[in-house]
Amino acid sequence: MVEILLVVLAVVVIGGIWFVSMRNGLVRLNIRVDEAWSDITVQLKRRADLIPNLIETVKGYAKHEAQVFENVTKARAATISGEALADPTKAAEAENMLQAAMKSLFAVAEAYPVLQASQNFLSLQAELSDTEDKIMAARRFYNGGVRELNTKIQVWPNSFFAKGLGFVERAFYEVADLAAIQNAPQVKF
């Protein structure tokens, strides 16, 4: 009788330890995904802050290209809107718009050799390129965290408890229009 009680007690203790460990692991992964998303939003904000300077530099040389500047400004605003900063799917849609608008902006810049030689323009392009690299790295980190969290939520026996504890799967940061990004914007001098 005592032995059965000890076995039951051991099973309960082991089950409790497993449950606490599973929950703490999910909390850690959830926080890691939140941190990764925050890193993306920081880099998107940095890029959004650079774009007006780039537009103003190009505007000085290409005054008649108002539609291009307007499109870039609208696309930039979409990438830092509350919707885009809260939802990876909306962020990806805004990214597609911005990529297309930036291609147009760089096409305008190509038509002005003096602009391409401007130190301010070159510096802004370098900053923008560096920021794009940081955004790409932040996306990879975010998607890696999402993969780990979603896997931990879906594996058995965690799947029985995770949703009941309030843990939900997260969306990957995916680009909706793959054709729009297959060819990166080319900057020619």
Q: Tokens in use for 38?
A: 């925050």
> Residue 115's pLDDT is what?
64
Highest mean pLDDT pick, 11-20, 97-106, 175-184: 11-20
Q: How many domains does the chain have?
A: 1
Say if 175 falls within a structural domain: yes
Q: What is the pLDDT of residues 63-86, one digit of tens each?
A: 656 777 788 888 888 888 888 778
From CA 106, how far away is CA 45, in angstroms rounded?
20
| Domain extent at residue 137 | 2-182
The DSSP output letter for 176 is S
Q: What is the pTM of this model?
A: 0.70
Residues comprising the chain, all counted: 189
Tokens 């979409």 sit on residue: 78
Say if 79 falls within a structural domain: yes
The DSSP output letter for 62 is -
Q: Tokens in use for 157?
A: 């026996």
CATH number at residue 114: 1.20.1440.20
Say if 188 falls within a structural domain: no
Say if 189 falls within a structural domain: no
Say if 187 falls within a structural domain: no
Mean pLDDT of 30-59: 88
Give the 3-state secondary structure percentages of the chain, helix then strand then coil, rounded to 5.
80, 0, 20
Q: How high does pLDDT run on average in the chain?
A: 83
